[in-house]
């Protein structure tokens, strides 16, 4: 039952953190009531219209009341109306979110497929050429801003070589193949940026595990190096890597804000940007909360997977 225990505890943490998230969101977007109305209506708005808007938005009430009202709405799933589009925020988000999820998942997949084998090789051939080469690759990946990767990829593969479209999105219901071709460049640009951390984590985790006493014993038992690395070491090493992968998935969600702009990908990132540019506070709040929630859930998923693979947590046991 200790897995159950563990999960419940983690959920508890999540709720507490979520509470703080709402606090921060609210605080950041509602610093001064006067400014909010001003932001929305612009500097040329009349006193009256400012007043009216403030009334309407309930901005004249004390902050904590506003917060509680807002929180109550939030819990009911009521995210308000978009000021710019006039549509319910929830609906807008529900429409755009899956596309971002698709992009982030594809990018993470690319990263994992590249990073883990590279990480293993780096660890096993520590300090030799493959290690240095892989590190270099990872380094460059992480040192170039995501949007630059995107632009360069577009320039090279879409413009010069005309292999892929320069941007845009095609829903799978229309043409799944097109969805994929449109997905390649953005997923690859983001994927490259994600690779470095996963690879580095795999490498350092493998190195640490390879120096453990039980690896030494496995060799002393006469096991081949292949068995030692893939069976004994990897299974241990991969556990912390899972957390990094989940973290990178979440990082991808930060990246979408910028990347969707580059590739004209109509996901939640572009929606957030639009909200910012239009000073669409309700939409912005909705987007922030949703993104933060996804982030936290992916961390929770990481913990669950971690617990599942590490028998010490799964089966518990009093040490």
Partner 1 sequence: MSGESSDYTDSANRYRPSDAQIERLGRFSRRFRRNTKAMIGLLLVLGLVFVAAFAPLIAPYQIDTTNIEDRSEAPSLEHPFGTDDLGRDVFSRVVMGSRISLYVGFGSIVGALFVGTVVGLVAGYYGGMVDEVLMRLMDAAMSFPPILLALTVMVVLGPNLNNVVLALAFVYTPYIARVGRSATLSERNEAYVESAVSRGETDSQIIFSEVLPNTMAPLLVQASLNIAFAILSEASLSFLGLGAQPPTPSWGLMINSGRGFMESAPWMILAPGIAIAITVIGFNLLGDGLRDVLDPKVDAIE
Partner 2 sequence: MSRTQHSGEGRIDGSSTGTTRESDAAAGDPVDPDGPLLQVRDLRTEFRTESGRVVATNEVSFDLDRGETMGLVGESGAGKSVTARSIMRLIDSPGEITGGRVVFDGEDLLAMTEREMRGVRGNRIALVPQDPMTALNPVLSVGEQIVETITHHQGKGRKEAREQAIEAMREVGIPDAADRIDDYPHEFSGGMRQRVLIAIGLSCQPDLIIADEPTTALDVTTQAKILDLLNDLQEERGMAVLMITHNLGVVAQTCDTVGVMYAGNLVETAPLDDLFERPNHPYTRGLIDSIPQTERTYDELPTMDGSMPDLLDLPEGCNFAPRCPHATEACRTGGDPDLEDIPGTDARAACIRTDEIDLSESTADPVDGTGRDAVDRSGEPLFEVENLKKHFSAGEGLLDSLSISWDGGPSIDRRSVKAVDGISFDVYPGETVGLVGESGCGKSTVARTALRLLEPTDGEVYFDGEPLHELGSTEVRSLRREMQMVFQDPGSSLNPRKTVGRIVGRAMERHDIATGEEKRERVRELLERVGLSADAATKYPHEFSGGQQQRVAIAHALAVEPRLIVCDEPVSALDVSVQAQILNLLNEIQAEYGLAYLFISHNIGVVRHICDRLAVMYLGKAVEFGTVEDVFSPPFHPYTESLLSAVPHPDPTRETDRILLEGTVPSPVDPPSGCPFQTRCPRKIGDRCETEVPELEAVGDDGHVVSCHLSVEEMSQRESFVATEENPAASD
Q: State yes or no: residue 220 binds partner 2 (CB under 8 A).
A: yes
Rounded distance between C-alpha atoms, residue 107 and residue 198, angstroms = 12
- Running DSSP on this structure, what letter comes out for residue 85? T
In this chain, which of 67, 101, 219, 279 binds partner 2, going by CB under 8 A?
Answer: 219
How crowded is residue 299: how many other Cβ atoms within 10 Å of its Cβ?
19
Rounded distance between C-alpha atoms, residue 88 and residue 80, angstroms = 6
Cα–Cα distances (Å) from 266 to 19, 42, 108, 259, 290, in that order, read: 29, 27, 19, 10, 16
Question: CA angle at residue 228 from 227 to 234, to 5 degrees?
Answer: 95
100 interface partner picked from partner 2, partner 1, none, CB below 5 to 8 A per type = none
- Rounded to a whole number of angstroms, the minimum distance from the CB of residue 270 to partner 1 is 11
232 interface partner picked from partner 2, partner 1, none, CB below 5 to 8 A per type = partner 2
Q: Is 283 helix (H, G, I), strand (E, B) or coil?
A: helix
Residues 232-291 that bind partner 2 (CB under 8 A): 232, 235-236, 239
Rounded distance between C-alpha atoms, residue 75 and residue 192, angstroms = 37
Q: Is 87 helix (H, G, I), strand (E, B) or coil?
A: coil
69 interface partner picked from partner 2, partner 1, none, CB below 5 to 8 A per type = none
With a CB cutoff of 8 Å and minimum separation 6, the contacts of 81 are: 87, 88, 89, 282
In this chain, which of 59, 103, 218, 283 binds partner 2, going by CB under 8 A?
Answer: 218
In this chain, which of 111, 284, 302, 307 binds partner 1, going by CB under 8 A?
Answer: 284
Choose the stretch contacting partner 1; rule: CB under 8 A; options: 73-81, 137-145, 170-178, 301-309.
Answer: 137-145
Q: Is 88 helix (H, G, I), strand (E, B) or coil?
A: strand
Residues 78-97 that bind partner 2 (CB under 8 A): none
Decide whether 31 or 176 has the Cβ nearer to partner 1.
31
- Tell me how many residues contact partner 2 (CB under 8 A): 41
Binding track, positions 21-50, relative to partner 1; x by CB under 8 A:
x-xxx--xx-x---x---------------
Residues that bind partner 2 (CB under 8 A): 1, 4-5, 8-9, 12-13, 124-126, 128, 212-227, 229, 231-232, 235-236, 239, 309-312, 315, 317-319
């Amino acid at each position: 039952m200790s897995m159950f225990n563990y999960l419940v505890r983690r959920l508890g943490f999540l709720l507490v953190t979520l509470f703080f998230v709402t606090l921060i969101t609210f605080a950041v977007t509602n610093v001064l009531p006067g400014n909010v109305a001003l932001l929305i209506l612009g500097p040329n708005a009349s006193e009256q219209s400012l007043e009216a808007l403030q009334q309407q938005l309930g901005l004249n009430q004390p902050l904590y009341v506003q917060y509680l009202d807002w929180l109550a709405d939030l819990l009911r799933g009521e995210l308000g109306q978009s000021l710019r589009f006039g549509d319910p925020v929830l609906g807008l988000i529900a429409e755009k979110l899956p596309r971002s999820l698709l992009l982030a998942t594809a990018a993470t997949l690319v990263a994992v497929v590249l990073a883990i084998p590279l990480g293993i090789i780096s660890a096993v051939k520590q300090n030799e050429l493959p290690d240095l080469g892989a590190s270099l690759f990872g380094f460059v990946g992480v040192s170039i801003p995501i949007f630059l990767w995107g632009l360069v990829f577009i320039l090279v593969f879409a413009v010069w070589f005309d292999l892929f479209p320069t941007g845009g999105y095609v829903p799978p219901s229309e043409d799944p193949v097109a969805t994929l071709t449109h997905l390649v460049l953005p997923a690859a640009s983001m994927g490259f940026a994600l690779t470095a951390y996963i690879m580095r984590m795999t490498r350092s985790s493998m190195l640490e595990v390879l120096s453990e006493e039980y690896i030494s014993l496995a060799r002393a038992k006469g096991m081949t190096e292949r068995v030692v690395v893939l069976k004994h070491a990897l299974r241990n090493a991969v556990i912390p890597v899972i957390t990094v992968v989940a973290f990178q998935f979440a990082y991808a969600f930060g990246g979408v804000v910028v990347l969707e702009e580059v590739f004209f990908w109509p996901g939640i990132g572009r929606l957030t940007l639009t909200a910012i540019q239009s000073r669409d506070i309700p939409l912005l709040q909705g987007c922030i909360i949703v993104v933060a929630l996804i982030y936290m859930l992916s961390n929770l998923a990481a913990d669950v997977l971690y617990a599942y693979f590490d028998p010490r947590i799964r089966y518990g046991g009093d040490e």
